[in-house]
Amino acid sequence: MLKSFIEIPPESDFSIQNLPYGIFSTKENPSPRVGTRLGDFVVDLAFLDEQKLFDGHYSFFADASLNRFMSAGRETWRRIRQRLTDLLSAGGDTVWEEAMRVLALIPVDDVQMHLPVDIGDYTDFYASREHATNVGIMFRGKENALMPNWLHLPVGYHGRASSVVLSGADVIRPRGQVKPKDAPLEFTVSRQLDFELEMGFFIGTGNDLGEPISIENAHEHIFGMVLLNDWSARDIQAWEYQPLGPFLAKNFATSISPWVVTMDALEPFRVQGPQQDPAPLPYLGTGSTSGIDITLEVTLQSATMDEAQTISRSNMKHLYWSLEQMLAHHTVTGCNMRTGDLCGTGTISGPTEDSYGSMLELTWRGEKPIQLPNGETRKFLQDDDTITMKGYCQGDGYRVGFGEVTGKILPALSDDGR
């Protein structure tokens, strides 16, 4: 098994098999730049580039986003990944001296992380059959759980790139129009604030306007993935979503994890996805999909709890629609994707009640409140609740993980905006 020259515990998300990319800064050098994560250290790639440790000069490692690196294409991504593996592995390239390693490896506690990508557009899909079925049963009954189009195409909507925030950012409870049952319409604070357990994927190289990305080539355009929490105000959503889908209910915050795990790092964890029946139209493939075995976990911690409680365990392999199908469908009209565009998978729910990926499902629209260890209960999220999502792929003696994405709910602003 490949090992690093530094000791990395087998339960660490950041093995040498991972080597994700992110943007960081330090007090000593406040300029945001590109790094990779190795165990409990951040490796300064701008410094390695300055020291001529790559096979060329890559000025994009000094950038404040991954965009230029991502736009370089898959051949460059793979060449740099292989070079980093050579430099960081035990018994690997000895061209760099111990003193240089000390300067390049920065303890993770000494860095400030930033949004990894300058996100141009954000699209969120609805790719979990279990989630779509659960929501459909709640709102339309078992006989009409799935809409007629759902098994034929990856349903999606356009979200707000401007409100995508980094893990750790607080989320202010939104206000909006709410129509309670048997009560008049009101403008008020959302009382049904929810999380959605998702994964996000970033577009590395785009396509020209008018030229779709084929299902066969879609993987060439996807750079990597992050954990994603699509915060949702269910009561606002229930009133506004017809006929065009969610709008204000989801535009106030979307949280992502700071490290982008590459598709090459995830490749060993490809698994057979759900069999698609009926078979999709040819532009979406054969109906035999490829999933990724990513173990996912959600914890909730209230202001009065000493420790967080796990409230959901799921897995990305349950998704009905694959990443490649989502991208092929998105561009089939000729829509042009651009470097840095973000796509969300939609809520990832599994087949069991403890694997549901939202409070809406876990509490079945508030009918079955979650019991917390301190005696509190939850139908939806309350002020000062913290939601944390984690995800990892389990290898033989190592992990390829994403770290975490976390966010705390703050009270709504007062009527005068304060």
**11-37 confidence digits (pLDDT tens):** 999 999 999 999 999 999 999 999 999
Least confident of 79-83, 179-183, 187-191, 203-207: 179-183
Q: Return the half-sphere exposure (C-beta side, CA atoms, 13 A cut-off) of residue 121.
A: 12
Continuous segment of H or E residues that includes residue 410: strand 399-410
Residue 99 has pLDDT above 90, yes or no: no
Continuous segment of H or E residues that includes residue 234: helix 234-240
CATH 3.90.850.10 residue spans of the chain:
122-410
Residue 410 has pLDDT above 90, yes or no: yes
| Of 316, 320, 305, residue with least CA distance to 389 | 316
Pick the catalytic residue from 131, 221, 318, 330.
131
pLDDT for 416: 57
Continuous segment of H or E residues that includes residue 265: helix 263-266
pLDDT for 93: 67
CATH topology of domain 21-114: SH3 type barrels. (2.30.30)
Tell me the CA end-to-end span of the chain in Å, nearest whole number: 55
Q: For residue 177, what are the β-bridge partners?
A: 187
Provide the 8-state DSSP code for 89: B
Stretch 88-113: mean pLDDT: 86
| Of 390, 382, 347, 355, residue with least CA distance to 167 | 390
152: annotated active-site residue: no
pTM: 0.96
**334-390 confidence digits (pLDDT tens):** 999 999 999 999 999 999 999 999 999 999 999 999 999 999 999 999 999 999 999
| Of 70, 86, 103, 398, residue with least CA distance to 260 | 70
DSSP string of 315-343? EGGG-SS-HHHHHHHHHTT-PPP-TT-EE
Residue matched to tokens 């057979």: 272
What beta strand segments (E) does 49-184 contain? 105-107, 111-114, 122-125, 156-158, 164-166, 171-172, 175-178
State what percent of residues in the chain have pLDDT above 70.
Answer: 97
Q: Which carries the bigger pLDDT value, residue 5 or residue 227?
A: 227
User: Would you state the CATH architecture of domain 122-410?
Assistant: Alpha-Beta Complex (3.90)
**383-403 confidence digits (pLDDT tens):** 999 999 999 999 999 999 999
How many other C-beta atoms can be found within 10 angstroms of the C-beta atom of residue 57?
Answer: 10
pLDDT for 98: 74
Phi, psi for 146 (deg, rounded to 5): -100, 135
Using alpha carbons, list the distances in angstroms from residue 139 to 59, 73, 252.
52, 44, 24
CATH 2.30.30.230 residue spans of the chain:
21-114
The dihedral over CA atoms of 181, 184, 189, 194, expressed in degrees to the nearest 10, equals: 20
The dihedral over CA atoms of 111, 116, 122, 127, expressed in degrees to the nearest 10, equals: -80
Provide the 8-state DSSP code for 221: G
Stretch 285-303: mean pLDDT: 92
Structure tokens, 324: 């490649």
DSSP string of 109-127? GGEEEE-SS----EEEE--
The answer to whether 94 and 86 are in contact (CB under 8 A) is no
Using alpha carbons, list the distances in angstroms from residue 376 to 169, 228, 358, 371, 411.
25, 26, 18, 6, 18
Q: Can the peptide bond before residue 20 be classed as cis, meaning omega within 30 degrees of 0? A: no
Edge to edge, what strands does the sheet with 105-107 contain? 105-107, 41-44, 33-38, 21-26, 111-114
- 3-state SS assignment for residue 406: strand
Cα–Cα dist 354/345, whole Å: 19
Structure tokens, 61: 């490692």
